[in-house]
């Protein structure tokens, strides 16, 4: 597994049919970092308000990020304009 000082992830759009969660899962499986920055539009709240779409792979992405945090990676979340759920 490759280890980096920082990984920046943006515009994942979990909650949409266009999301390529399997690619992100593969990347997270093979890479880790001291700090993982989630910088906007990780979850697409706009799309979820219109139509609920949340397959297991989208849940797997969240679980993988939480697991990395438990194992010592610092995860910093900066919401984007689509992340708003309320």
What pLDDT does 80 receive? Answer: 86
DSSP label at residue 58: H
User: pTM of the entire structure?
Assistant: 0.91
Q: What's the whole-number mean pLDDT along residues 60-78?
A: 98
What pLDDT does 86 receive? Answer: 56
Where do the domains of the chain lie? 2-78
Phi and psi (nearest 5°) for 78? Answer: -120, 110
Contact between 66 and 37 (Cβ < 8 Å): no
**Local confidence band at 81 (pLDDT 50, 70, 90 cut-offs):** confident
What pLDDT does 83 receive? Answer: 67
Burial class (CB in 10 A: 0-12, 13-18, 19+), 14: buried
9 pLDDT higher than 90: yes
Each residue of 19-57: pLDDT tens digit?
999 999 999 999 999 999 999 999 999 999 999 999 999
Q: Which tokens belong to 78?
A: 């900066």
85 pLDDT higher than 70: no
């Amino acid at each position: 597994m490759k280890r980096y000082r920082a990984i920046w992830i943006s515009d994942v759009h979990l909650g949409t049919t266009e999301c390529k969660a399997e690619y992100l899962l593969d990347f997270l499986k093979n890479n880790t970092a001291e700090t993982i920055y989630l910088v906007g539009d990780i979850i697409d709240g706009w799309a979820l308000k219109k139509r609920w779409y949340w397959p297991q792979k989208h849940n797997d992405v969240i679980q993988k990020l939480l697991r990395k945090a438990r194992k010592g990676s610092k995860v910093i979340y900066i919401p984007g304009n689509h992340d708003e759920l309320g």
